[in-house]
A and B are shown apart, each in its own frame.
Chain A
Amino acid sequence: EPEVTQTPSHQVTQMGQEVILRCVPISNHLYFYWYRQILGQKVEFLVSFYNNEISEKSEIFDDQFSVERPDGSNFTLKIRSTKLEDSAMYFCASSEPDYGYTFGSGTRLTVV
């Protein structure tokens, strides 16, 4: 069964540093997403991406965040100048236009 692959599985970074979280969506999917889940809380939408541009973003997704599809397979989330409160699980997902949302296993980001 096709999978969404995320790397690394765990990232520890110092406050103020930049991190890049990587994702390989399912190959025939057209929509890509990032979500995050702070420990003990619900999964929250960050951003969706279609046709090489952001199609929707939440209020969480401020100027500290950016996304990119640098080639035909990868989808990245960059967090500039990380803060302690950015510590969370970050999930990448991909979907076809109207169905098939599939999530990756996540990257646990720990900011120290």
Chain B
Amino acid sequence: GESVGLHLPTLSVQEGDNSIINCAYSNSASDYFIWYKQESGKGPQFIIDIRSNMDKRQGQRVTVLLNKTVKHLSLQIAATQPGDSAVYFCADTGRRALTFGSGTRLQVQP
């Protein structure tokens, strides 16, 4: 079952460094994955997505890697900025509904 009062793992990085946020998923049928960023009091904001027929996709300052063998996703953020501070969620779907991971809080130190 779900845990109440989930404690988010935290990643603290220095401004300008690269960040890597990891996510594991469990549904082998998932064929579409999305990374979202959520700032306090706001809704999830789309960052980048990837389909299961790919293992890497790049956006502006972000790269998503997908390893279907071990059901693992990572989000790499290059040259992390203070504005990148937020909670990052991965989400996967095999049909329509997104299943969200528990999230990682990224803290960027100036």
Contact = CB atoms under 8 A, between A and B. Distances in A.
Contacts of A72: none
Contacts of A95: 96
B95 interface: yes
Contacts of B49: 99
B43 A103 contact: yes
Interface residues of B, number: 26
A101 B89 contact: no
Interface of A: 4, 31, 33, 35, 40-45, 48, 50, 55-56, 58, 89, 91, 93, 95, 98-99, 101-106, 108
Contacts of A104: 43
B58 to A, nearest CB: 17
Contacts, number: 61
A104 B26 CA distance: 27
Given A56-B95, A103-B36, 10 more contacts: A40-B5, A42-B2, A43-B38, A43-B100, A95-B96, A99-B49, A101-B46, A101-B98, A103-B44, A103-B45
Contacts of A42: 2, 6, 89, 100-103
Interface of B: 2, 4-6, 32, 34, 36, 38, 41-46, 49, 89, 91, 95-103
Q: Is the interface of B mostly helix, strand, loop or mixed?
A: loop
Contacts of B36: 103
Given A91-B43, A101-B34, A41 B6 contact: yes
A55 B45 contact: no
Contacts of B46: 101-103
B6 A40 contact: yes
A98 B49 CA distance: 11
Closest 5 interchain pairs by CB? Answer: A103-B43, A45-B97, A43-B100, A103-B44, A48-B96
A99 to B, nearest CB: 7
